[in-house]
Amino acid sequence: MWLDKPRNPDAPLAGLKVLELARILAGPFAGQTLADLGADVIKVEAPEGDGTRQWGPPFVEREDGAREAAYYHGCNRGKRGITADFRNVEDLANVTDLAGQADVVIENFLPGKLAKFMLDYESLAYANPGLVYCSITGFGQDGPRRNEPGYDFVIQAMSGFMALTGEPEGEPMKHGMSISDLFCGLYSTIAIQAALAMRQRTGKGQHIDMALYDCSVALLAHQAQSFFTTGQNPARMGNMHAQVSAYGVFPTKDGPVVLSPANDRLFRKLLEVFERHDLLDDERFATNEARIANRAEIDGIIAAETAQWERETLLRHCREAGVPAGPIYEVSEVFEEPQVQARGMTFPMADGLTGLRSPFKFSDAELALGEPSPKLGQDD
Protein backbone atom coordinates (compact mmCIF):
# COMPACT_ATOMS: atom_id res chain seq x y z
CA MET A 1 0.00 0.00 0.00
CA TRP A 2 2.83 2.42 0.79
CA LEU A 3 4.56 3.90 -2.25
CA ASP A 4 7.70 2.07 -3.34
CA LYS A 5 9.22 5.33 -4.58
CA PRO A 6 8.57 8.90 -3.37
CA ARG A 7 6.26 11.01 -5.51
CA ASN A 8 8.97 13.66 -5.58
CA PRO A 9 12.42 12.45 -4.47
CA ASP A 10 13.62 16.07 -4.28
CA ALA A 11 11.05 17.00 -1.62
CA PRO A 12 12.30 17.47 1.98
CA LEU A 13 10.16 14.67 3.48
CA ALA A 14 10.36 12.26 0.56
CA GLY A 15 9.89 8.68 1.76
CA LEU A 16 8.16 9.60 5.03
CA LYS A 17 5.05 7.47 5.60
CA VAL A 18 2.10 9.23 7.25
CA LEU A 19 -1.19 7.56 8.13
CA GLU A 20 -3.95 10.12 8.67
CA LEU A 21 -6.91 9.05 10.81
CA ALA A 22 -8.29 12.57 10.91
CA ARG A 23 -11.17 14.58 9.53
CA ILE A 24 -12.49 18.16 9.28
CA LEU A 25 -9.57 20.65 9.40
CA ALA A 26 -6.74 20.65 11.99
CA GLY A 27 -5.56 17.06 11.42
CA PRO A 28 -6.08 17.06 7.64
CA PHE A 29 -4.27 20.42 7.38
CA ALA A 30 -1.26 18.92 9.16
CA GLY A 31 -1.43 15.94 6.81
CA GLN A 32 -1.66 18.17 3.74
CA THR A 33 1.34 20.22 4.88
CA LEU A 34 3.40 17.03 5.29
CA ALA A 35 2.20 15.84 1.86
CA ASP A 36 3.29 19.13 0.27
CA LEU A 37 6.69 18.55 1.87
CA GLY A 38 6.91 15.17 0.16
CA ALA A 39 5.48 12.67 2.64
CA ASP A 40 3.39 9.74 1.40
CA VAL A 41 0.11 10.45 3.23
CA ILE A 42 -2.68 7.89 3.26
CA LYS A 43 -5.96 9.37 4.45
CA VAL A 44 -8.32 6.88 6.10
CA GLU A 45 -12.00 7.84 6.03
CA ALA A 46 -15.14 6.22 7.31
CA PRO A 47 -17.25 4.71 4.49
CA GLU A 48 -19.41 7.85 4.45
CA GLY A 49 -16.32 10.04 4.04
CA ASP A 50 -14.84 13.07 5.77
CA GLY A 51 -17.69 15.40 6.71
CA THR A 52 -16.08 18.32 4.88
CA ARG A 53 -16.80 16.60 1.56
CA GLN A 54 -20.34 17.93 2.06
CA TRP A 55 -19.48 21.35 3.52
CA GLY A 56 -20.74 23.36 0.56
CA PRO A 57 -21.60 25.19 -1.48
CA PRO A 58 -19.38 25.86 -3.28
CA PHE A 59 -18.68 22.43 -4.72
CA VAL A 60 -15.88 21.27 -7.01
CA GLU A 61 -16.96 19.26 -10.03
CA ARG A 62 -14.22 16.92 -11.24
CA GLU A 63 -13.75 15.92 -14.85
CA ASP A 64 -15.24 12.47 -14.19
CA GLY A 65 -18.30 13.95 -12.47
CA ALA A 66 -17.13 13.45 -8.86
CA ARG A 67 -18.32 16.26 -6.62
CA GLU A 68 -16.94 17.45 -3.28
CA ALA A 69 -17.07 20.71 -1.35
CA ALA A 70 -14.32 23.22 -2.04
CA TYR A 71 -13.66 23.19 1.72
CA TYR A 72 -12.53 19.55 1.53
CA HIS A 73 -10.07 20.38 -1.24
CA GLY A 74 -8.52 23.12 0.89
CA CYS A 75 -6.96 20.65 3.33
CA ASN A 76 -6.62 17.24 1.64
CA ARG A 77 -4.60 17.59 -1.55
CA GLY A 78 -1.60 15.41 -2.28
CA LYS A 79 -2.88 12.43 -0.28
CA ARG A 80 -4.01 8.96 -1.21
CA GLY A 81 -7.27 7.76 0.25
CA ILE A 82 -8.90 4.61 1.55
CA THR A 83 -12.09 3.89 3.47
CA ALA A 84 -12.31 1.72 6.56
CA ASP A 85 -14.95 0.74 9.08
CA PHE A 86 -13.00 -0.03 12.24
CA ARG A 87 -15.81 -2.41 13.29
CA ASN A 88 -15.01 -4.53 10.24
CA VAL A 89 -12.26 -7.06 11.00
CA GLU A 90 -10.63 -6.89 7.57
CA ASP A 91 -10.71 -3.08 7.45
CA LEU A 92 -9.25 -2.81 10.94
CA ALA A 93 -6.50 -5.30 10.11
CA ASN A 94 -5.59 -3.27 7.01
CA VAL A 95 -5.35 -0.01 8.96
CA THR A 96 -3.36 -1.71 11.74
CA ASP A 97 -0.93 -3.08 9.16
CA LEU A 98 -0.46 0.38 7.63
CA ALA A 99 0.16 1.85 11.07
CA GLY A 100 2.76 -0.83 11.73
CA GLN A 101 4.76 0.40 8.75
CA ALA A 102 4.13 4.12 9.21
CA ASP A 103 6.56 6.74 10.48
CA VAL A 104 3.72 9.01 11.62
CA VAL A 105 0.08 8.59 12.60
CA ILE A 106 -2.18 11.64 12.87
CA GLU A 107 -5.55 11.19 14.59
CA ASN A 108 -8.20 13.48 16.02
CA PHE A 109 -10.60 11.19 17.86
CA LEU A 110 -11.73 11.97 21.39
CA PRO A 111 -9.24 10.73 24.03
CA GLY A 112 -9.35 6.98 24.49
CA LYS A 113 -11.73 6.29 21.63
CA LEU A 114 -9.19 4.49 19.44
CA ALA A 115 -8.00 2.23 22.27
CA LYS A 116 -10.97 -0.11 21.82
CA PHE A 117 -9.71 -0.77 18.28
CA MET A 118 -6.09 -1.03 19.45
CA LEU A 119 -5.23 1.96 17.28
CA ASP A 120 -4.06 4.05 20.23
CA TYR A 121 -0.40 4.95 20.66
CA GLU A 122 0.40 2.31 23.27
CA SER A 123 -1.02 -0.50 21.15
CA LEU A 124 0.67 0.58 17.92
CA ALA A 125 4.01 1.50 19.48
CA TYR A 126 4.38 -2.01 20.88
CA ALA A 127 4.88 -3.32 17.34
CA ASN A 128 6.29 -0.08 15.89
CA PRO A 129 8.46 1.58 18.58
CA GLY A 130 9.71 4.25 16.16
CA LEU A 131 6.20 5.53 15.54
CA VAL A 132 5.52 9.25 15.97
CA TYR A 133 1.84 9.42 16.92
CA CYS A 134 0.14 12.83 16.94
CA SER A 135 -3.23 13.15 18.67
CA ILE A 136 -5.17 16.33 17.91
CA THR A 137 -8.16 17.14 20.10
CA GLY A 138 -10.05 20.18 21.26
CA PHE A 139 -8.72 20.24 24.81
CA GLY A 140 -5.97 17.63 25.06
CA GLN A 141 -5.58 14.18 26.59
CA ASP A 142 -6.04 15.34 30.19
CA GLY A 143 -7.77 18.06 32.18
CA PRO A 144 -11.43 18.56 33.09
CA ARG A 145 -12.51 19.29 29.49
CA ARG A 146 -10.62 16.39 27.86
CA ASN A 147 -13.82 14.64 26.72
CA GLU A 148 -15.49 17.75 25.28
CA PRO A 149 -15.53 18.17 21.50
CA GLY A 150 -13.43 21.07 20.29
CA TYR A 151 -14.75 23.22 17.47
CA ASP A 152 -12.89 26.21 16.11
CA PHE A 153 -15.62 28.74 16.93
CA VAL A 154 -15.83 27.56 20.54
CA ILE A 155 -12.04 27.57 20.90
CA GLN A 156 -11.80 31.09 19.48
CA ALA A 157 -14.36 32.22 22.07
CA MET A 158 -12.60 30.52 24.99
CA SER A 159 -9.05 31.46 23.98
CA GLY A 160 -9.47 35.23 24.23
CA PHE A 161 -9.33 35.71 20.45
CA MET A 162 -12.89 36.97 20.19
CA ALA A 163 -12.54 39.31 23.15
CA LEU A 164 -9.60 40.91 21.33
CA THR A 165 -11.25 41.06 17.89
CA GLY A 166 -13.78 43.61 16.69
CA GLU A 167 -14.52 47.28 17.18
CA PRO A 168 -14.07 48.67 20.71
CA GLU A 169 -17.80 49.31 21.15
CA GLY A 170 -18.94 46.34 19.06
CA GLU A 171 -19.51 42.72 19.95
CA PRO A 172 -16.63 40.24 20.10
CA MET A 173 -15.88 38.76 16.68
CA LYS A 174 -14.33 35.55 15.44
CA HIS A 175 -11.53 35.58 12.92
CA GLY A 176 -12.59 35.28 9.28
CA MET A 177 -10.60 32.05 8.99
CA SER A 178 -10.73 28.93 11.18
CA ILE A 179 -7.58 30.18 12.82
CA SER A 180 -7.63 27.84 15.83
CA ASP A 181 -7.86 24.77 13.60
CA LEU A 182 -5.26 26.01 11.14
CA PHE A 183 -2.68 26.99 13.73
CA CYS A 184 -3.16 23.72 15.57
CA GLY A 185 -2.46 21.96 12.28
CA LEU A 186 0.72 23.98 11.82
CA TYR A 187 1.86 23.52 15.44
CA SER A 188 1.21 19.79 15.01
CA THR A 189 3.38 19.73 11.88
CA ILE A 190 6.19 21.40 13.82
CA ALA A 191 5.83 18.92 16.68
CA ILE A 192 5.83 15.93 14.33
CA GLN A 193 9.03 17.06 12.65
CA ALA A 194 10.64 17.75 16.04
CA ALA A 195 9.74 14.23 17.20
CA LEU A 196 11.16 12.78 13.98
CA ALA A 197 14.40 14.69 14.55
CA MET A 198 14.52 13.33 18.11
CA ARG A 199 13.94 9.81 16.76
CA GLN A 200 17.11 10.23 14.74
CA ARG A 201 18.99 10.56 18.07
CA THR A 202 17.11 8.05 20.21
CA GLY A 203 15.68 5.54 17.75
CA LYS A 204 12.31 5.86 19.49
CA GLY A 205 9.05 7.49 18.55
CA GLN A 206 6.64 9.12 20.96
CA HIS A 207 3.08 10.33 21.53
CA ILE A 208 2.36 14.00 20.77
CA ASP A 209 -0.63 15.51 22.56
CA MET A 210 -1.88 18.56 20.64
CA ALA A 211 -4.92 20.59 21.70
CA LEU A 212 -6.67 23.32 19.72
CA TYR A 213 -7.18 25.17 22.99
CA ASP A 214 -3.49 25.05 23.96
CA CYS A 215 -2.43 26.26 20.52
CA SER A 216 -4.85 29.17 20.58
CA VAL A 217 -3.91 30.21 24.10
CA ALA A 218 -0.24 30.09 23.04
CA LEU A 219 -1.06 32.50 20.19
CA LEU A 220 -2.03 35.20 22.69
CA ALA A 221 1.73 35.87 22.72
CA HIS A 222 2.36 39.59 23.41
CA GLN A 223 -1.25 40.16 24.45
CA ALA A 224 -0.82 37.59 27.20
CA GLN A 225 2.42 39.29 28.23
CA SER A 226 0.58 42.60 28.43
CA PHE A 227 -1.92 40.99 30.79
CA PHE A 228 0.86 39.39 32.88
CA THR A 229 2.52 42.80 33.15
CA THR A 230 -0.51 44.94 33.99
CA GLY A 231 -3.14 42.56 35.32
CA GLN A 232 -5.58 44.28 32.94
CA ASN A 233 -7.47 42.70 30.05
CA PRO A 234 -6.19 44.06 26.71
CA ALA A 235 -8.87 46.16 25.06
CA ARG A 236 -10.56 45.34 21.78
CA MET A 237 -8.99 47.80 19.32
CA GLY A 238 -10.67 47.19 15.96
CA ASN A 239 -8.06 48.01 13.32
CA MET A 240 -5.90 49.99 15.71
CA HIS A 241 -2.83 48.64 17.48
CA ALA A 242 -2.76 48.66 21.26
CA GLN A 243 0.94 49.51 21.43
CA VAL A 244 1.54 51.56 18.24
CA SER A 245 0.13 54.81 16.86
CA ALA A 246 -0.61 56.05 14.21
CA TYR A 247 -1.48 52.64 12.88
CA GLY A 248 -4.72 51.62 11.24
CA VAL A 249 -7.10 51.93 8.32
CA PHE A 250 -7.37 55.37 6.73
CA PRO A 251 -9.54 56.75 3.91
CA THR A 252 -8.45 57.89 0.46
CA LYS A 253 -10.52 59.27 -2.40
CA ASP A 254 -11.05 55.81 -3.88
CA GLY A 255 -10.78 53.31 -1.06
CA PRO A 256 -9.17 52.69 2.32
CA VAL A 257 -5.50 51.92 2.94
CA VAL A 258 -3.59 50.42 5.83
CA LEU A 259 -0.74 52.47 7.29
CA SER A 260 1.65 50.99 9.83
CA PRO A 261 4.48 53.38 10.71
CA ALA A 262 5.59 51.23 13.64
CA ASN A 263 8.35 53.43 15.07
CA ASP A 264 9.29 57.08 15.41
CA ARG A 265 11.50 57.08 12.30
CA LEU A 266 8.75 55.69 10.09
CA PHE A 267 6.19 58.07 11.56
CA ARG A 268 8.41 61.04 10.68
CA LYS A 269 8.75 59.68 7.14
CA LEU A 270 4.96 59.52 6.90
CA LEU A 271 4.71 63.16 7.97
CA GLU A 272 7.22 64.01 5.24
CA VAL A 273 5.04 62.22 2.66
CA PHE A 274 2.22 64.56 3.72
CA GLU A 275 4.62 67.52 3.88
CA ARG A 276 3.50 68.12 7.45
CA HIS A 277 6.85 69.48 8.54
CA ASP A 278 5.02 71.55 11.14
CA LEU A 279 4.37 68.37 13.14
CA LEU A 280 7.91 66.98 13.09
CA ASP A 281 8.83 68.69 16.36
CA ASP A 282 5.38 68.58 17.97
CA GLU A 283 5.87 67.00 21.40
CA ARG A 284 2.39 65.49 21.29
CA PHE A 285 3.53 63.19 18.48
CA ALA A 286 7.32 63.00 18.90
CA THR A 287 7.33 59.49 20.41
CA ASN A 288 5.15 56.42 20.11
CA GLU A 289 4.17 56.75 23.77
CA ALA A 290 3.10 60.36 23.16
CA ARG A 291 1.14 59.39 20.05
CA ILE A 292 -0.73 56.72 21.99
CA ALA A 293 -1.65 59.31 24.62
CA ASN A 294 -2.94 61.53 21.79
CA ARG A 295 -4.23 58.76 19.55
CA ALA A 296 -7.56 60.31 18.57
CA GLU A 297 -5.93 63.60 17.58
CA ILE A 298 -3.12 62.14 15.48
CA ASP A 299 -5.44 59.59 13.84
CA GLY A 300 -7.75 62.45 12.87
CA ILE A 301 -4.86 64.42 11.38
CA ILE A 302 -3.61 61.44 9.38
CA ALA A 303 -7.13 60.63 8.14
CA ALA A 304 -7.60 64.21 6.95
CA GLU A 305 -4.34 63.96 5.02
CA THR A 306 -4.98 60.58 3.41
CA ALA A 307 -8.48 61.62 2.33
CA GLN A 308 -6.90 64.09 -0.08
CA TRP A 309 -5.02 61.39 -2.03
CA GLU A 310 -5.82 58.84 -4.69
CA ARG A 311 -5.14 55.40 -3.18
CA GLU A 312 -2.44 54.22 -5.59
CA THR A 313 -0.66 57.58 -5.54
CA LEU A 314 -0.47 57.54 -1.75
CA LEU A 315 0.73 53.94 -1.70
CA ARG A 316 3.42 54.74 -4.26
CA HIS A 317 4.69 57.68 -2.21
CA CYS A 318 4.70 55.53 0.93
CA ARG A 319 6.70 52.81 -0.86
CA GLU A 320 9.22 55.35 -2.08
CA ALA A 321 9.58 56.74 1.46
CA GLY A 322 9.85 53.27 3.02
CA VAL A 323 6.62 53.63 4.99
CA PRO A 324 4.76 50.28 5.40
CA ALA A 325 1.39 50.66 3.69
CA GLY A 326 -0.96 48.58 1.61
CA PRO A 327 -4.39 48.25 0.04
CA ILE A 328 -7.17 46.13 1.53
CA TYR A 329 -7.78 43.36 -0.97
CA GLU A 330 -10.74 41.15 -1.65
CA VAL A 331 -9.71 37.50 -2.04
CA SER A 332 -10.01 37.83 -5.83
CA GLU A 333 -7.58 40.76 -5.76
CA VAL A 334 -5.06 38.76 -3.72
CA PHE A 335 -4.53 36.39 -6.63
CA GLU A 336 -4.24 39.28 -9.09
CA GLU A 337 -1.43 40.82 -7.01
CA PRO A 338 1.86 40.63 -8.99
CA GLN A 339 3.83 39.64 -5.88
CA VAL A 340 1.54 36.66 -5.25
CA GLN A 341 1.88 35.65 -8.89
CA ALA A 342 5.66 36.08 -8.87
CA ARG A 343 5.95 33.85 -5.81
CA GLY A 344 3.90 31.12 -7.47
CA MET A 345 1.34 30.85 -4.68
CA THR A 346 -1.08 28.93 -6.91
CA PHE A 347 -0.43 25.89 -9.05
CA PRO A 348 -2.40 23.66 -11.43
CA MET A 349 -3.49 20.23 -10.27
CA ALA A 350 -4.92 17.22 -12.03
CA ASP A 351 -8.63 17.25 -12.86
CA GLY A 352 -8.35 20.91 -13.85
CA LEU A 353 -8.20 22.10 -10.23
CA THR A 354 -6.12 24.95 -8.82
CA GLY A 355 -4.15 24.56 -5.60
CA LEU A 356 -2.88 27.07 -3.05
CA ARG A 357 0.81 26.40 -2.48
CA SER A 358 2.26 25.89 0.98
CA PRO A 359 4.53 28.88 1.64
CA PHE A 360 7.84 26.97 1.79
CA LYS A 361 10.72 27.79 -0.53
CA PHE A 362 13.96 25.83 -0.28
CA SER A 363 17.30 26.42 -1.97
CA ASP A 364 17.87 22.71 -2.58
CA ALA A 365 14.46 21.04 -2.40
CA GLU A 366 11.10 21.07 -4.14
CA LEU A 367 7.57 20.64 -2.84
CA ALA A 368 5.51 17.65 -3.94
CA LEU A 369 2.60 19.40 -5.63
CA GLY A 370 0.11 18.63 -8.36
CA GLU A 371 -2.04 15.84 -6.97
CA PRO A 372 -5.58 16.78 -5.93
CA SER A 373 -7.45 15.55 -2.89
CA PRO A 374 -8.37 11.87 -3.04
CA LYS A 375 -11.78 10.75 -4.16
CA LEU A 376 -13.61 8.74 -1.54
CA GLY A 377 -11.98 5.31 -1.38
CA GLN A 378 -9.90 5.86 -4.50
CA ASP A 379 -7.08 3.61 -3.24
CA ASP A 380 -9.17 0.88 -1.60
**Would you name the residues annotated as active-site residues?**
181
Hey, which residues does 132 pair with through a beta bridge?
A: 104, 206
| Structure-derived torsion over alpha carbons of residues 165, 167, 168, 174, reported in degrees to the nearest 10 | -20
Length of the chain: 380
The type of residue at 158 is M
∠114-25-200 over CA atoms, to 5°? Answer: 65
Residue 352 CB partners (closer than 8 Å, separation 6+): 62, 63
Tell me whether strands 80-83 and 67-69 are parallel, antiparallel or unpaired. unpaired
238 within 8 A of 230, measured Cβ to Cβ: no
Q: Give the DSSP H/E element, type plus range, for residue 68.
A: strand 67-69
Letter string b/e over residues 71-97, b meaning 16 or more CB atoms within 10 A of that residue's CB: bbbbbbbbbbbbbbebeeeebbebbbe
Non-local (6+) Cβ contacts of 8 within 8 A are 14, 38, 366, 367, 368
Instruction: Give Cβ neighbours of residue 116 (< 8 Å, ≥ 6 apart).
Output: none
Burial of 4 (0-12, 13-18, 19+ CB in 10 A): exposed
* Residue 325: closest CA among 256, 377, 376, 229: 256
DSSP string, 252-291: -TTS-EEE---SHHHHHHHHHHTT-GGGTT-TTSSSHHHH
Which residues, in sequence order, are bridge partners of residue 211?
A: 137
